Amino acid sequence: MGLLDRLSAALAPAADDDQLVAAAPAQRVRTILRRFWPFARPFRRRWLLGLLLAAALPAVEAVEIWLFKSVVDDVLVPADLAALWPLAAAMASLALAGALLSFGDEYIATWVGERFTVAVRAAVFDHLQRLEPDALDRRRHGDVLSRLSGDLHAIETLLLSALAEAVQAAARLLFFVAALFVLSWKLALVSLIVVPPLWFAARHFGRLARRAARERRRRSGTVNTVLEEALANSALVQAANAQAHEQARLRREAEGASEAELAGTRIAGLFAPVINLIELLGAIVIIALGTWALSSGDLTLGGLLAFLAYLSQLYRPLRDLTRLYTSVFEATAGAERVMELLDTQPRVVERPGAHDLVRAAGRLELRGVHFAYDRLALADASLVVPPGRFVALTGASGAGKSTVAKLAVRFLDPDAGTVHLDGHDVRDLTLQSLRRNVALLLQDAPLLDGTIADNVAYGHSDATDADVRRALAVTGLDLDPATPVGQKGRALSGGQRRRVAMARALLQDAPVLILDEPTAGLDPDAARELIAPLRAIARDRATLLITHDPVLAEAADEVIVLDGGRVQCMATR
Ligand SMILES: Nc1ncnc2c1ncn2[C@@H]1O[C@H](COP(=O)(O)OP(=O)(O)OP(=O)(O)O)[C@@H](O)[C@H]1O
């Protein structure tokens, strides 16, 4: 193994055998810029102004150094105090101009950066909301949150601050190199000897820095994943006495994240002195040659001092490269993770020109439907729920009942066969109109943190207090609508939660209603108590009741039995 390879191995972040969150595919910086440019485009004028201000700052600095040369040659060397005043006035004006420029540059960059972040975050969130619930459930939510926060922030840094720094470095290079050539073109040429070693060092460290940055971003996702999973399932964790296990998982991931952070610091920490050393060697050569130029009268003392000042300022962007590298690679790694989210294509999409069905009569039909996840869920399933009928769908666990519900509201599309609403293939309807006409009461009746009234009116912002009370009265819930339900409705009992969800379905007033296991997890008495409100909300609509419970199925007009994804029998009363 060569010295460089051994150095690279020592600096690299530690390997992670158990990747809780996989790394996103690597992307070229150009691809990333092209992908995110549309979000910055609306602010391009301000952004350009910010870049101009950033580029103007080195011009001010170049003049400041030139004035310093005049102070040495015209004030200090001849000891002429009178010559100082005009120079002092010019220096003060320049300092003021510099302060204004750097304030303007910083403020505009932040302004554009904040707006850019809002736009990207909104677009990613919009995209995520188009993904079917199953696709979202396959992702670790903690990692998704970390992509929407830290990773987005890193891209903002790339597009804005890092670019401003790069423009400033380029402007500084231009102005200062020009000044060097004006002062002494021979010395200016000699000072270029540092370029090849600097370039080599930057390339090598850059590659290492990029790898460390990708690992850092990925690790931030794994830490959030462990936190989110443990907090969201705190009851399970405590009931299973698994606190120590979760603590160990968090510690392992947090240590992995800090190790990745340290790897980044090791690389940046070693890069900075290497750059300083190369610069120092360059400066020593220049001082030696400059002394000779001074003695031969080619350069004044002020000229030599100014030359060295320009040179050290010129090296500044190179020193800043460490920071620039870190932010560029951090951003690239963040952008890769955000792009991976944006590239996840929804499987359920609305057809162009889809029909907006205002109000269906309410006939739901499955015709020869096949559907498989990674295993078969439905095979040649056909069934009809006519308007006004109350149909129960029963069958053993895993028979495919919930899959029927997901197909009816297009959380999934069939692999073969069709689902129809009022004779329309549901794929020909807009998603909005389909879900307006088919209300789905989910199995665990999830609620959002807020009051009972907030939950009943969720999705129906025009509902009045009276509407909410009426809907709650039908379900027989005897709690004040202003009662808070807690996170996920956990401050209510299972039966109360289901009544709130029923009231919401009632308010939606859809012609088709699908109830997925409305009594699951309730004791027999609580389940029985729900039969009357269920019948009340099923009245005058096509209702598909998915249930294991034979007593509940008894209440239906018709019972369909599913077995292993196939319709086994239908019984009509
Ligand atoms: N998101 C998923 N990914 C992979 N397989 C799934 C998924 N959801 C369901 N399945 C599988 O598809 C089959 C049908 O599941 P489905 O949820 O429709 O059954 P079910 O009859 O509603 O069961 P239960 O009564 O237990 O809720 C099962 O074998 C299940 O394991």
Using the mean position of ligand 1's atoms as its centre, give its distance from the Cα of residue 422 in Å: 27
Q: Measure the CA–CA gap between 263 and 551, rounded to whole angstroms.
A: 63
Ligand 1 centre distance from Cα of residue 326 (Å):
46
Using DSSP's 3-state secondary structure scheme, residue 391 falls into: strand
CA of 445 to the centre of ligand 1 (A): 17
Cβ atoms of residues 566 and 370 within 8 Å: no
Closest atom of ligand 1 to CA, residue 406: 18
Give tens-digit pLDDT for 385-433.
999 899 999 988 888 999 999 999 999 999 999 999 999 999 999 999 9
Ligand 1 center to residue 16 CA distance, Å? 33
Which pLDDT value is given to residue 7?
66
Q: Tell me which of 373, 545, 566 to substitute to probe ligand 1's pocket, judged by most ligand atoms within 8 Å of the beta carbon.
A: 373
Helical spans, DSSP H, in 484-561: 494-508, 524-538, 550-554
Name which residue sits closest to atom 16 of ligand 1, judged by CA: 400
Asked if residues 212 and 269 have their Cβ atoms less than 8 Å apart, the reply is no
**Which residues, judged by CB distance below 6 Å to any ligand atom, belong to the binding site of ligand 1?**
134, 373-375, 377, 395, 397-403
Report CA(398)–ligand 1 centroid distance (Å): 5
Number of the ligand 1 atom closest to the C-alpha atom of 403: 18
Q: Which of 136, 139, 374, 402 to mutate to test the pocket of ligand 1 (most atoms within 8 A of CB)?
A: 402
- The predicted complex's ipTM stands at 0.96
* Tokens encoding 292: 């000779």
- Sheet architecture: strand order including 566-572: 438-441, 512-516, 542-546, 390-395, 558-563, 566-572
CA of 442 to the centre of ligand 1 (A): 14
Q: Look at strands 438-441 and 512-516 and give their pairing.
A: parallel
Alpha-carbon gap, residue 449 to 485, rounded angstroms:
6
- When computed from its CA atoms, the radius of gyration of the chain, rounded to whole angstroms, is 34
Question: What pLDDT score does 20 carry?
Answer: 63
Ligand 1 centroid distance, CA of 570 (Å)? 21
Q: How far apart are the first and last CA of the chain?
A: 81
Q: Which residues of the chain have pLDDT under 70?
A: 1, 3-4, 7-24, 317-323, 570-573
- Which amino acid, residue 414? P
Distance CA(177)–CA(188), nearest Å, equals 8
Q: Give 136 Cα–ligand 1 centroid separation in angstroms.
A: 16
Query: What single-letter amino acid sits at 244?
Result: A
Report the mean per-residue pLDDT for the chain.
85
Kind of pairing, strands 512-516 and 542-546? parallel
Q: What are the structural domains of the chain?
A: 25-343 (1.20.1560.10), 364-572 (3.40.50.300)
Measured between alpha carbons, how far is 502 from 492 in angstroms, rounded to an integer? 14
Inter-axis angle of helices 301-343 and 29-40, nearest 10: 80
**Nearby residues of 95 by Cβ (< 8 Å), 6 or more positions away:** 64
Closest C-alpha residue for ligand 1 atom 30: 398
Give Cα separations from 83 to 43, 302, 303, 503 (angstroms): 47, 15, 17, 87
Residue whose CA is closest, atom 26 of ligand 1? 397
Dist. CA 505–CA 483, nearest whole Å? 19
| pLDDT tens column, 314-324 | 777 666 666 67
Tokens for 14?
Answer: 């530690």
